[in-house]
Amino acid sequence: MKKLALHWKILLGMVLGVVLGIIMTNFDWGMKFIQDWIKPFGKIFISSLKLIAIPLILAALIKGVSDLKDISKLSKMGGRTIGIYITTTVIAVSIGLLLVNIVNPGSSISEQTRTEMVENYSGSADKYQKTAKEQKKNGPLKALEDLVPENIFSAATSNRNMLQVIFFAIFFGVGLILIPEEKGETVKKFFDGFNEVILKMVDLIMLAAPYGVFALLAALVVESPSVDLFKALAWYSLTVVIGLGVMILIYILIVFLFTKKKPSFFVKGISPAQLLAFSTSSSAATLPVTMERVTEHLGVEEEVASFVLPIGATINMDGTSLYQAVAAVFIAQAFGMDLTFGTQLGIIATATLASIGSAAVPGAGMVMLVGVLGYAGIPEAGLALIFAVDRPLDMCRTTVNVTGDAAVSMLVASSLGKLKKPKVKEWDDNYEVVK
């Protein structure tokens, strides 16, 4: 398996897990064997994702905010950049919630399968039902009240308090910017190094993803050997893909309306970066190509691109936030939970802020999803349902993330009068340098 790319390994693990699960359903001892000797490895994998969720958010957000270095940069270019990024992210999450409520992919799961899932995956259905009831009793400003933690160390002990951790990380990052650079240099270097360590931990965990998926799928099949479950998973994947496609169309429309550039101009200019993003599932790895395409082929001045794009690779994760919204509601539907309108508004806020802390590496979106699920009181065990198809969806959402970065850079450049004639024109795939 060493020569295979990670996404192929994950898909292979998925297939083998399903095959093993189907085989074991033919034996009386098959389910117990899977539960005793295979499923624990899947649980360990899920626990490892949950383990680094809060450290990842703290490291990525504090580093991302403090990298702005000067709070004055937020006044003009920074203010417009972050404002547009947040706006497009809210649009993405809203589209995801709209689609998942319309398509309702979890509805195809039968009541019998749902009951089995609650018993096998949540282990404490009453706990989640109680949480949902408590949320319905809360006032309209309860989410705002809960945003500020009384004790950050207490908040950091539970993924349920992810929104509070995000608030603290942003607040801490702003404070780090406002103090003299020489006094904050040591703290900045610590969190830069801390962020690198956490990203390396993500890499290590993702190496175990094929085996984790194998164990999760094998357990899923023997414990819920139902076709409707896989049908629901297919509808979920389709919902995410449709939502991501809609976001790309929105980017094209925004670029056309605000910069007067033809859709073909934008698509041709950014397509190589999109393809690289699709193959690597990493906005960070794609950043050099994105920078080259935006400056050389889309006409954004380097001054703007060098500021907007690195920030975008850190905080602009529209594809990831859309996926988190769809995944959260789908898992809730699968477990028979009825999410209130207020809870879904909270998902918009949580997914938007969590996307700011999503590291620009493969698999980080799945880690951040833990926080979204925790906020809404949705069983985190539902990650087992969607992880099998996460890798191909990760490739698609990274493409959207990179496309969004390029579109916003054009909007910011246009608003500042720094959108010029491209240095390179493309004519029938041949390059002509503009003198």
With a cut of 60, say whether residue 76 has pLDDT above it.
yes
CA distances from 53 to 341, 348, 366, 372 (A): 26, 18, 9, 11
pLDDT of residue 298: 92
Please give the backbone phi and psi of residue 317, each rounded to the nearest 5 degrees, phi first. -125, 65
How far is residue 415's CA from residue 400's CA, in Å, rounded to a whole number?
A: 22
Angle between helices 364-376 and 341-356 (to 10 degrees): 150
Q: Note whether residue 295 is domain-resident.
A: yes
Q: What is the pLDDT of residue 129?
A: 46
Q: Would the pLDDT of 140 be above 90?
A: no
Residue 360 neighbours by CB distance under 10 Å = 27
Whether the per-residue pLDDT at 274 is higher than 70: the answer is yes
Determine the average pLDDT of the residues in 224-239: 80
Contact indicator for 392, 263 with CB cutoff of 8 Å: no
Distance of CA 86 to CAs 118, 179, 316, 349, Å?
A: 35, 26, 8, 10
159 in any annotated domain: yes
Residue type, 413: A
Return phi, psi of residue 430, to 5°: -105, 145
> Would you call 325 exposed, middle or buried from its count of C-beta atoms within 10 A (0-12, 13-18, 19+)?
buried
Flag whether 209 is in a domain: yes
Residue 429 has a pLDDT of 41
92: tokens are 């993405």
Q: How far apart are CA 188 and CA 54, in angstroms?
A: 18
In a domain, 434, yes or no: no
Per-position DSSP letters for 217-279, written without gaps between them: HHHHHHH---HHHHHHHHHHHHHHHHHHHHHHHHHHHHHHHHH---HHHHHHHHHHHHHHHHH
Higher-confidence residue of 121 and 397: namely 397
Name the average pLDDT for the chain. Answer: 78
- For the segment 95-102, the average pLDDT, to the nearest whole number, is 91
Report the Cα 405 to chain-centroid distance in Å: 15
- Residue 132 confidence (pLDDT): 45
Q: Based on C-alpha coordinates, what's the Rg of the chain?
A: 22
Q: What is the pLDDT of residue 338?
A: 78
Supply the pLDDT for residue 123: 47
Q: Which domain holds residue 327?
A: 6-424
Average pLDDT over residues 6-34: 85
Per-residue burial over 67-105, b = 16 or more CB atoms within 10 Å of its CB, e = otherwise: ebeeeebbeebbebbbebbbebbbbbbbbbbebbeebeb
Helix axes 341-356, 77-103, angle to 10 degrees: 140
CA-CA distance, 41 to 28, in Å (whole number)? 22
As a whole number of angstroms, the distance between CA 408 and CA 402 comes to 10
CATH number of the domain enclosing 371: 1.10.3860
Residue 232 tokens, joined: 């629901």
For the chain, percent of residues with pLDDT exceeding 70 = 76
What single letter denotes the amino acid at residue 332? A
What confidence score (pLDDT) does residue 435 get? 33
Q: What global pTM score does this model have? A: 0.68
Is there a domain that residue 353 lies in? yes
| Residue 369 in domain | yes
pLDDT band at residue 162 under the 50/70/90 scheme:
low
Lowest mean pLDDT of 196-200, 302-306, 352-356, name the range: 352-356
Residue 1 domain flag: no
Tell me: pLDDT of 292 over 50: yes
430 within some domain: no
Q: What is the mean pLDDT of residues 176-196?
A: 88
Task: Give me the number of domains the chain comprises.
Answer: 1
Q: What is the dihedral of CA 312, 315, 318, 322, to 10 degrees?
A: 170
